């Protein structure tokens, strides 16, 4: 069996990922054996294939030939499943499980060899399904002969246990807050006893004083215990968090082989340099960063670094350089991926903006270089083959979105012809976060402090309307005004009086700002962020949840501005704000979050009130509660498609309907119009102004 040098930390990552792949493969085969529905079987087979394919690719990258061969056999079996899912028999599943068993055996063989070369031949196998963290212990804390100890007196602990311990710390902190309530009650009892003693007891005052002294002593002891508890809990929390920290060098070094292989495949010479010092990050942060950072270094090789011939023509050495560096920036870490390539092609970006109608020629010419480069982060911006910029943009929106979900940010520095630097500013851990608590319609939410630029109060009569959109003027600049109820689509917000003062929070994301009206604002505090489970897991706009002092759950918002339009520039005189009832309302119905966001951007920027629904059934519920002036819906959706929804809308409410779809064939268009749709817009030819023209024709009351 061939092994690369065992000091390479990439093997630690590979081992943990392989354990997870094997676990998912076995569970997937068992689920497949119990599933008869063809659609579900097809979905399961797709997931199984990806696990086998990834395991094969990782094994090949590490030159683990026996593992690669075994994974390739399993992949071939699953490929046959993918081609004919309706022909999967129990005997077929037995074949797949046999292939999986062979793959698992090869993995166990490799793992034993790996442990021997690490200098621990007698150590027991790791728990099969749990990734491990390593915690150092002093000799006094070590148990002789324990199978969990190695020669360096480290204990391997499943990372899930550390997560659980950290959650328990959070629960104890909630109980600690209740101790504060007990202390407050004791103080009130002491005050009442003192008042009663002075008012009624007269000569029995010494007895009251004795009782008061006892209460004071209890208060003092409780305070001392509470203070010591808080100190110990803080120390415990810090130590558990520290146990989850891993060196960033593990991640940086894992990119050496992919960069080398990709450079050879495109006939380029690339020197990869790593300078991350002793920077440590939480394991969850490192795992979240792996995909976006890999994308950035691959882009640097494929589309940043020029070929040796081109570099020679430009007076550069034939070997390009990619540098992975990191350092602390305040309480956060800044990771930089820099290359000495050509940088984004500005002429290609301008051509793309103009040819796709994203901006007018005058708007493009007014852009600075920095503003021009920011367009490569827009979703799908560079999917077309437009010179060098083609590959630069693919997936960069995903990189940015991943950073935003982590409460981080990404910065871009371009030196035309000399190189590109991406700077990723991220927190050390994702387990704790500082939030500002706000209330809206009787519910409380947490907004990450990194998102909040400022808070304040303003009289409603001081708002202005620009291009039909309520606007707050801050520091001489217009900022879009929106209620938290609309921002979260919680329902109809209350209508404030003109002379009434309202609280607001300014949310900032990059250069964009949004002023959000809230009912009240609480203090900023650091909270333990917990993941959300069904049915809230994966819901866009939610980071997680936390427990308040009263035991209630508080949702922590992503507070991303990507789901709302950009701030509206000042291009018309300010006028008084119209009431919400005067602004036409549009309901967008689409099961694609991307399409919903895009349509909402276009329509909100034009001044319309916009609400959204995730499918036809959701739309019917919203239509029963409130009638819009127009419905814009997708053709193909789960539960209730656009054609059937159109029929119901026309039969019940006779509202205008626009179908926006990717189906271009004439018979689909005819089917939609026969159902009663007033217009049929093709997504592939979609242009914002084109849709707005149709909307203006169907809505008599146009915003102004």
407: left (phi over 0), alpha (psi -120 to 50) or beta: left
- State whether 312 and 454 are in the same domain: no
Q: Is 94 helix (H, G, I), strand (E, B) or coil?
A: helix
Q: Is 532 helix (H, G, I), strand (E, B) or coil?
A: coil
Quick one: pLDDT at residue 171?
65
User: How many structural domains comprise the chain?
Assistant: 5
Which residues of 486-575 form beta strands (DSSP E)? 501-509, 512-518, 520-528, 542-547, 553-557
pLDDT along the chain (704 residues), means of 10: 46 79 85 82 87 81 83 90 86 88 91 70 35 38 35 54 69 65 76 74 69 80 73 71 81 84 87 89 85 89 90 93 89 90 85 80 83 77 42 63 80 88 86 82 85 86 81 82 82 72 85 86 78 66 76 80 48 37 81 72 76 87 87 85 90 89 73 87 61 80 43
- State whether 462 and 398 are in the same domain: no
Task: Count other C-beta atoms under 10 Å from residue 328's C-beta.
Answer: 11
- State whether 266 and 404 are in the same domain: yes
Which CB contacts under 8 angstroms, 24+ apart, belong to 211-218?
215/186, 215/189, 215/190, 216/190, 218/186
Partner residues linked to 630 by β-bridges: 586
Those residues with Cβ within 8 angstroms of residue 71's Cβ, 6 or more apart along the chain or in another chain: 52, 55, 56, 59, 103
pTM of the model: 0.46
Those residues with Cβ within 8 angstroms of residue 190's Cβ, 6 or more apart along the chain or in another chain: 212, 215, 216, 219
- State whether 463 and 545 are in the same domain: yes
- State whether 381 and 297 are in the same domain: yes
Quick one: pLDDT at residue 186?
79
- State whether 468 and 337 are in the same domain: no
**Residues 291 and 258: beta-carbon distance below 8 Å:** no
Per DSSP bridges, beta strands 630-634 and 585-589 are parallel
**Token pair of 272 as six digits:** 């990869």
Q: DSSP letter string over 563-593?
A: GSPPPPP--S--BPPPPGGGS-EEEEE-S-H
Task: Count other C-beta atoms under 10 Å from residue 201's C-beta.
Answer: 13
**Token pair of 124 as six digits:** 């027991």
Q: Is residue 575 part of a domain?
A: no
Judging by beta carbons within 10 Å of its beta carbon (0-12, 13-18, 19+), is residue 33 exposed, middle or buried? middle
Quick one: pLDDT at residue 325?
94
CATH number at 490 reads 2.40.50.180
**Residues 32 and 100: beta-carbon distance below 8 Å:** no
Q: Is residue 666 part of a domain?
A: yes
- State whether 407 and 353 are in the same domain: yes
CATH number at 44 reads 1.20.120.160
Domain end point (choices 132, 153, 173): 132
Domain end point (choices 243, 258, 282): 243
Compute φ and ψ for 286, nearest 5 degrees: -60, -40
- State whether 189 and 288 are in the same domain: no
**Residues 50 and 21: beta-carbon distance below 8 Å:** no
- State whether 57 and 118 are in the same domain: yes
Domain end point (choices 408, 427, 446): 427
Q: Is residue 139 part of a domain?
A: no
- State whether 266 and 407 are in the same domain: yes
**Residues 273 and 322: beta-carbon distance below 8 Å:** yes
Task: Count other C-beta atoms under 10 Å from residue 663's C-beta.
Answer: 19
Instruction: Determine the Cα–Cα distance for residues 554 and 540; give it in Å rounded to an integer.
Output: 16
Compute φ and ψ for 356, nearest 5 degrees: -100, 10
Q: Is residue 397 part of a domain?
A: yes
Q: Is residue 449 part of a domain?
A: yes
Q: Is residue 674 part of a domain?
A: yes
Q: Is residue 155 part of a domain?
A: no
Domain of residue 470 covers: 433-563
- State whether 458 and 399 are in the same domain: no
**Token pair of 578 as six digits:** 């119209």
Instruction: Determine the Cα–Cα distance for residues 41 and 29; give it in Å rounded to an integer.
Output: 10
Q: Is 679 helix (H, G, I), strand (E, B) or coil?
A: strand
CATH number at 283 reads 3.30.565.10
Quick one: pLDDT at residue 5?
40
- State whether 416 and 295 are in the same domain: yes
CATH number at 637 reads 3.40.50.2300
Q: Is residue 146 part of a domain?
A: no
């Amino acid at each position: 069996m061939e092994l690369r040098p065992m000091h390479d930390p990439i093997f630690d990552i590979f081992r943990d990922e392989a354990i997870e792949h094997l676990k998912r493969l076995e569970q997937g085969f068992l689920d497949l054996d119990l599933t008869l529905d063809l659609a579900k079987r097809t979905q399961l087979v797709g997931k199984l294939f990806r696990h086998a394919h990834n395991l094969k690719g990782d094994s090949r990258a590490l030159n683990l030939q026996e593992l690669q061969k075994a994974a390739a056999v399993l992949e071939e079996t699953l490929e046959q499943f993918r081609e004919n899912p309706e022909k999967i028999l129990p005997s077929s599943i037995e074949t797949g499980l046999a292939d999986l068993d062979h793959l698992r055996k090869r993995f166990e063989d490799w793992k034993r060899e790996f442990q021997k070369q690490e200098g621990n031949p007698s150590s027991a196998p790791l728990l099969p399904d749990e990734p491990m963290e390593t915690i150092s212990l002093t000799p006094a804390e070590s148990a002789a002969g324990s199978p969990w100890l190695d020669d360096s007196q480290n204990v391997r602990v499943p990372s899930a246990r550390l997560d659980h311990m950290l959650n328990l710390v959070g629960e104890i902190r909630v109980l600690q807050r209740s101790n504060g309530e007990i202390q407050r009650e004791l103080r009130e009892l002491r005050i009442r006893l003192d008042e009663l003693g002075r008012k009624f007891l007269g000569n029995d005052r010494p007895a009251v004083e004795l009782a008061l002294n006892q209460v004071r002593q209890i208060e003092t002891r409780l305070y001392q215990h509470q203070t010591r508890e808080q100190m110990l809990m803080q120390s415990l929390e810090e130590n558990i968090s520290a146990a989850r920290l891993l060196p960033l060098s593990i991640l940086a070094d894992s990119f050496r082989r992919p960069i080398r292989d990709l450079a050879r495949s495109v006939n380029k010479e690339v020197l990869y340099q790593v300078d991350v010092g002793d920077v440590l990050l939480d394991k969850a942060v490192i795992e979240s960063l792996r995909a976006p950072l890999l994308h950035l270094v691959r882009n640097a090789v494929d589309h940043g670094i020029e070929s040796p011939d081109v570099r020679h023509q430009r007076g550069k050495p034939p070997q390009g350089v990619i540098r992975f560096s990191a350092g602390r920036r305040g309480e956060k870490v800044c990771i930089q991926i820099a290359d000495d390539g050509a940088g984004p092609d500005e002429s290609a970006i301008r051509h793309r903006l103009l040819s796709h109608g994203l901006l007018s020629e005058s708007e493009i010419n007014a852009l600075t270089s920095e503003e021009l480069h920011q367009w490569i982060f827009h979703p799908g911006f560079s999917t077309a083959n437009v010179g060098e910029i083609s590959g630069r943009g693919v997936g960069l929106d995903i990189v940015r979105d991943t950073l935003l979900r982590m409460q981080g940010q990404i910065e871009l520095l371009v030196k035309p012809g000399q190189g590109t630097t991406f700077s990723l500013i991220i927190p050390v851990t994702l387990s704790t976060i500082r939030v500002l608590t706000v209330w809206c319609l009787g519910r409380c939410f947490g907004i990450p402090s990194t998102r909040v630029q400022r808070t304040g109060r303003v009289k409603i009569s001081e708002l202005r309307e620009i291009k039909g959109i309520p606007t707050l003027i801050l520091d001489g600049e217009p900022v879009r005004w929106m209620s938290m109820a609309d921002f979260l689509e919680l329902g109809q917000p209350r209508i404030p009086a003109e002379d009434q003062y309202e609280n607001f929070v300014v949310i900032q994301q990059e250069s964009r700002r949004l002023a959000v009206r809230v009912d009240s604002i609480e203090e900023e505090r650091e909270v333990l962020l917990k993941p959300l489970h069904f049915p809230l897991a994966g819901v866009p706009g939610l980071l997680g949840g936390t427990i308040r002092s009263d035991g209630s759950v508080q949702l922590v918002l992503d507070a991303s501005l990507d789901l709302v339009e950009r701030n509206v520039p000042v291009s018309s005189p300010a006028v008084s704000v119209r009431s919400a009832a005067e602004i036409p309302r549009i309901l967008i119905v689409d099961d694609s979050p991307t399409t919903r966001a895009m349509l909402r951007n276009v329509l909100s920027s034009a001044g319309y009130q916009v609400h959204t629904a995730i499918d036809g059934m959701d739309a019917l519920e919203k239509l029963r509660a409130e009638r819009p002036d127009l419905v814009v819906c997708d053709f193909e959706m789960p539960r209730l498609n656009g054609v059937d929804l159109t029929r119901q809308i026309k039969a019940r409410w006779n509202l205008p309907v626009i179908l926006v779809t990717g189906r271009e064939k004439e018979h689909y268009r005819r089917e939609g119009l026969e159902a009663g749709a007033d217009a049929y817009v093709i997504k592939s030819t979609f242009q914002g102004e084109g849709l707005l023209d149709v909307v203006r024709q169907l809505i008599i009351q146009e915003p102004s």
